[in-house]
Structure 1
Amino acid sequence: MVVGLQKGFVILEAMVAIMVFALGILGLVGVQAAMTREQTTSKIRADATYLASQLVGEMWVDIPNLSQYASGNCNGYTKCADWLNKVAVNLPSGSSTVTVDSATGDVSITVSWTMPGGDEHQHVMATTIVKTDA
């Protein structure tokens, strides 16, 4: 056995082990970043769904003024204008389009937003609000 030929082998093993460990840590950091990004996207999507459902609820309790919720009339109607403000505040670059057919009660709500990375998203909710004689 020649001792002189094995000098520095332990240091080489230690350096390889440190490199493997560092790559593992970098992988974990990458997974954490992706998870955080997807969690943010999921929360914003849930907020958009909640906001659309909230407007439908407002419409259900305010059936006599259903036509006031259409996008063209919305800014002049306080309940709808407040909702538009919530969309703008709670979603990044949030906007919405609301169409209402007063005769049939058909309602379509499109909530749109742009993520910080530039990806555009939208949530569309369609329902029918039936007027009943009570």
Structure 2
Amino acid sequence: MQRSSPRTRPSLVRASRVQGIALIEVLVALLIFMLGVLGLIGLQSSMTRAQTDAKARADAAYLASELLGRMWADLNNLATYNGTACASQTRCLEWQNKVASNLPSGVGAVTYDGGTGNVTITVTWTMPSGDSHRYVTNTTVAKPTT
């Protein structure tokens, strides 16, 4: 039997230690990479949620402006757009149905003051996450005096 010299034995020990360190370095690199991927997934989720909220706000503003346009086109019947009587007015009922179909749990309400011509349009909706939102616009719609 040949005995290994003291010089060759430490080199074998060092080589196996180096291989173990390389494996640890690879595992740490994989851990850092996975944390980065998880961070990107979280960022994408936040961006999607923010985009959905922004679209709902834009839709609410558009719907409120649309009803104002309908009111300006129907100046002779402005009083029928007020409160619960709004549902009896065909144009307003169509608008309320459009709010309900375009926004999650969307509801539209109109208040018209015949004396001053002030109109308040309130659009409310609830996102699937449970967050409630409301868009309110005020303006004056009145027949021009001649």
For the criterion TM > 0.5, the same-fold answer is yes
From 10, 16, 20, the counterpart of 1:8: 20
- Structure-2 separation of matches of 1:133 and 1:3: 97
- Equivalent position amino acid for 1:106 in 2: N
Partner Cα separation in structure 1 for residue 108 and residue 83 of structure 2? 8
Structure 2 partner of 1:126: 138
Q: Distance in 2 between matches of 1:4 and 1:99?
A: 81
> Which runs of 5 or more residues in structure 1 are unaligned?
none
3-state SS in 2 of match to 1:107: strand
Whichever residue aligns with residue 21 of structure 1, its letter is: F
Distance, in Å, in 1 between the alignment partners of 2:77 and 2:52 is 35
Q: What is the identity percentage for the equivalent residue pairs of Structure 1 and Structure 2?
A: 50
Gaps of 5+ in 2: 1-10
In the other structure, the counterpart of 2:36 is: 24
SS in 1 for 2:88: coil
Task: Give the aligned residue type for 1:41.
Answer: D
Between Structure 1 and Structure 2, how many residues are aligned?
134
- Residue aligning to 1:55: 67
Q: What is the alpha-carbon distance in structure 2 between the residues aligned to residue 3 and residue 133 of structure 1?
A: 97
Please give the alpha-carbon distance, in whole angstroms, between the structure 2 residues aligned to 1:60 and 1:43. 26
Computing the radius of gyration from Cα coordinates, the structure with the larger value is 2
- Aligned amino acid, residue 33 of structure 1: S
User: Within 2, Cα distance between the matches of 1:106 and 1:4?
Assistant: 84
Q: Equivalent residues in 2 for 1:85-100 (5 A)?
A: 85-100=97-112
When the two chains are superposed, the root-mean-square deviation of aligned CA atoms in Å is: 1.2
**1:64-103 equivalences in 2 (<5 Å):** 64-103=76-115
> Matched residues in 1 for 2:74 and 2:116: separation?
15
Q: Which has the higher contact order (CA 8 A, sep 6+)?
A: 1
SS of 2:139's equivalent in the other structure is: strand
1:71 Cα deviation from its structure 2 partner:
2.1
